[in-house]
Amino acid sequence: MLFRTLLIAAIIIVFYSLAKWQKLSVELSLLAATIGGALAGSIFSSPPPAEIPRHLVEGSFTYLDVILVFFTATLFITIIQKSGGVDFAVRRTVVRFYRARFLALFLLMVIVLIPGALTGAGSVSLLVVGTPVALALKGLGVEEEKIPAILFILAGLAAAAPPVNIWAMVLCAGTAIPYVGFELPLGLPVIILGTLTVVILGRRKGADEIDSFLEKITPHPGMNWLRLLLPFLVFFGLVLAYRVYPFNFPVLGLPLEFLIASLVALVLSPVRLNLIKVASETVSKLLPLLAIMVIVGMLQQILSASGVKGLISYSVLIIPLGLLFCLLPVIIPVSEGVLTYGGAAIIGIPLVWYLNSLGYHATIVISGLSLLWPLGDGLPPTALIGRLSVMVSGYQGKYWQFLKETWVPWLIITATGMLMIIFSAKLKFLVTG
């Protein structure tokens, strides 16, 4: 079985490489790899040839919910942007805070952390507040390539922050550990690491550019704080209402919450907007990202049906413990880059059981791992948060150039996560509840 699974894995890699060699996009290359894997697997009846179409269709629905959240959140922020709200917010924020630079950076960090912490999705942070924060950072004189780097790291930390951390929740659900006591093990490192990130990457580049920046930002005269903030208040109000009144408030789900907030933004916009046009522009803008989500789901399905997913999990588990600790900083982010949240299930669940059986504290281990997974959202093939960071910040440079800028916080976060895992037993005092 090992030989045939390795062979299927090799064929998947060959198909991906050939497609890239033919200069196909990441999405089409992944699709080619998926079909290659399915055909190779069908030689060994894993999956049987007649089952391939079913697997492809079923897999394409894996991330349907995430796709809906991406679309509706982007629609929301596009309406805010087109109504002049983003320009307005940035101008006011920069004018108010640019003299107290550290405070301004800290506040912007908190603004990015909140949506992701509430929803568990760094993408929501970027889609909701990414563009205005990017502009504010520019106004504060932060270097252009460092802006998406800051957004990427903060969005990742936002996703890891309590109260909602999807990696931790997936692991808790899979390992039958209650999702309690994560406030400090997740909250403390997120705040410290976020602050370090904005301090390290947010240094001023040369002279103050505030005047020339403000000249470029001319918000619509009809825009005001009420028109800008009300749609956000509606969105966060709906999110919080379920938290406060979980048994009386209906479950709306993030897509509908974003849609309601979008409609409020549309009504309050001082600029007349065509909803259909904005929605279709949003779909066009998001198409590569949505395509990736559909195809990664298909790929995961084929990897599982062919046994390659099991091989990945098995390979991690047979690594000796010392070597495993050395490799985790690579394995965990790469698993996220390939499988997104699937990595938490495939590698994370057996890993937590294994470490737990050796006396490591499960809650701290999960918290440490949760700091490493978001880093993988900048890695191909999916690079979800990385690509979104580039998109919302309007960065025009090369993708790898922006990613290179993240290396210092990346190392600090990796070291923090690994130390939490290795010394989890000594850090269990952080677990409350």
Partner 1 sequence: MKKVSSTFKITASAMVLALLVVGGWPLYRHRASSMEVVCGPGVTEILMLSDFLPDLRNTAADTPVFVLSGTEPGGSALIIGNTHANEPEGLLAAALIVENAVVKKGTLYVIPCFNRSASLNTRPGEGYPVYFSVETPWGKKKFRMGNRDASPLDQWPDPDVYIHFPEKQMLSYLDIRNTNRTWPGRHNGMPMEQVTFAAMELLRNHKVDLAIDLHGAETMFPVTNCIVAPEKSMRIATLAALTVKAVEGFESHVESSPEKFRGLSHREIGDYSDTLPFLLEAPIPFLDQPTGPKSEQLFLDGRDEFLLSLSRRKKLFVSYDESGWPLERRVGQHLSVSLEIIKQYSRRHPGRAIIVENVPRYSEVVEKGIGYYFQNPATAKKEKVITF
Site for partner 1, residues 120 to 159, rule: CB under 8 A? 120
Please say whether the dihedral angle defined by the alpha carbons of residues 387, 201, 101 and 95, taken in this order, is positive or negative: negative
Under rule CB under 8 A, residue 170 binds partner 1: yes
Contacts (CB under 8 A) with partner 1, residues 239-258: 239, 242-243, 246-247, 251-256
| Minimum separation from the CB atom of position 309 to partner 1 (A) | 8
- Does residue 402 contact residue 385 with C-beta atoms inside 8 Å? no
Stretch that binds partner 1, among 125-133, 134-142, 284-292, 307-315 (CB under 8 A): 307-315
Task: Say if residue 163 is preceded by a cis peptide, omega within 30 of 0.
Answer: yes
Taking CB under 8 A as the criterion, the residue among 178, 206, 221, 359 binding partner 1 is 178
- Alpha helices, DSSP H, located in 176-253: 183-201, 210-216, 225-244
Judged by CB under 8 A, the chain residues 30 through 59 that form the site for partner 1 are: 41, 44-47, 51, 53-59
CB of 376 to partner 1, least distance (A): 17
User: Of the two residues 177 and 332, which places its CB atom closer to partner 1 in the complex?
Assistant: 177
State yes or no: residue 311 binds partner 1 (CB under 8 A).
Answer: yes
Selected binder of partner 1 within 283, 317, 326, 411 (CB under 8 A): 317
Instruction: Name the minimum Å distance from CB 275 to partner 1.
Output: 21
The SS3 call for residue 143 is: coil
Q: How far is the CB of 180 from partner 1 (least distance, A)?
A: 6
Closer to partner 1 by Cβ: residue 57 or 415:
57
Q: Does 400 bind partner 1 (CB under 8 A)?
A: no
Nearest to 131 by CA among 402, 390, 397, 400: 390
Q: Give the C-alpha separation, 60 to 56, whole Å.
A: 6
**Complete DSSP assignment for 66-81:** HHHHHHHHHHHHHHHH
Does residue 87 sit in helix, strand or coil? helix
Among 200, 233, 349, 422, binds partner 1 (CB under 8 A): 349
Mark the segment that binds partner 1 (CB under 8 A) among 60-68, 71-79, 141-149, 284-292. Answer: 60-68
Sign of CA dihedral 166, 167, 168, 174: positive
Helices (H), 269-348: 275-306, 308-317, 321-339, 342-343
Query: Site for partner 1 (CB under 8 A): which residue of 197, 301, 382, 389?
Result: 301
Tell me the number of residues near partner 1 by CB under 8 A: 74
Binders of partner 1 in range 356-375 (CB under 8 A): 356-357
Residue 192 or 321 having the CB closest to partner 1:
321
Structural contact between residues 16 and 29, judged by C-beta atoms closer than 8 angstroms: yes
Which one of 10, 100, 173, 415 is in contact with partner 1 (CB under 8 A)?
173
Q: Which tokens belong to 107? A: 């506040």
**d(Cα 366, Cα 186) in Å, to the nearest integer?**
9
Site residues for partner 1, 6-25, by CB under 8 A, read none
Rounded least distance, CB 274 to partner 1, Å:
24
Q: Rounded distance, CA 350 to CA 275, Å? A: 46
Distance, CA of 296 to CA of 66 (rounded, Å) = 12
